[in-house]
């Protein structure tokens, strides 16, 4: 015999004063993420698994809101590139993008020698499924020099200083974060095209 659980009814509850705790503060192995490191960009396996039939994508940047969108597309669309290995078992593909990364690092005032990881959300907008990432909300991993001059990424993330005295965004502001218009203020970056556009630069994409 089931015992009905009594639920307390709170008539005056309000989200005022609450902050939504940032996902970056938790373990997030199975959350979509994108990483910039050593002039390369790549998504994690969680991104691929949530879009199992997608092979090609475009990257879009909104310079005003500092948001990045990963948009699935066809192979023949302009500025498309493959985001996974072309094998039976799909794996994230690291794409060399020196010019793109340099432009992004300049815009965001990032240290190009560090590794930057961003958590994202899968959303539906204008009839499309997309990943959206906030470029201002990054995990930063410093790069250290070992004996012999070889660089090594640190394992402890560094977060923006403004996060020190807060758990996350207020509830109402958090709700507005994903209210976007996909093509309003976004620029499409073709990673392969940009990497090959420099004089004397040869693509080493594998």
Q: pLDDT tens digit string along 78-101?
A: 999 999 998 778 999 999 999 999
- Rounded to an integer, the average pLDDT of 36-40 is 93
Q: In the chain, what are the domain boundaries?
A: 26-196
What pLDDT shows up at residue 198?
39
The DSSP code sequence of the chain is -PPPPP----TT---TT-EEEPGGGS--TTS-EEEEETTEEEE-HHHHHHSTT--EEEEEEETTTTEEEEEEE-TTSTT-EE-B-SSSS--B--EE-HHHHHHHHHHHT--TTSEEEEEEEEEEETTEEEEEEETTS-EEE-EEE-TTS-EEE-SS-B--GGGTT-SEEEHHHHHHTT---TTSSEEEE-HHHHHHSSTT------
| Per-residue pLDDT band at 200 (split at 50, 70, 90) | very low
């Amino acid at each position: 015999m089931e015992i009905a659980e009594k639920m307390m009814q709170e008539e005056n509850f309000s989200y005022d004063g609450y902050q939504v705790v940032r996902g970056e503060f938790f373990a997030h192995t199975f959350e979509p993420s994108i990483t910039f490191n050593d002039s390369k960009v790549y998504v994690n396996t969680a991104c691929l698994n949530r879009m199992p039939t997608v092979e090609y994508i475009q990257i879009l940047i909104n310079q005003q809101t500092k948001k990045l969108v990963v948009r699935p597309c066809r192979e023949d669309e302009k500025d498309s590139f493959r985001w996974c290995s072309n094998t039976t078992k799909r794996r994230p593909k690291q794409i060399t993008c020196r010019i793109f990364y340099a432009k992004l690092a300049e815009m965001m005032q990032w240290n190009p020698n560090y590794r930057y990881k961003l958590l994202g959300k899968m959303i539906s907008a204008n009839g499309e499924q997309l990943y959206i990432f906030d470029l201002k909300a990054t995990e930063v991993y410093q790069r250290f020099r070992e004996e012999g001059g070889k660089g090594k990424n640190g394992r402890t993330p560094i977060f923006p200083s403004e996060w020190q005295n807060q758990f996350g965004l207020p509830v109402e502001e958090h709700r507005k974060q994903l209210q976007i218009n996909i093509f309003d203020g976004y620029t499409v970056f073709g990673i392969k095209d940009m990497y090959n556009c420099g004089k004397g630069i040869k693509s080493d994409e594998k």
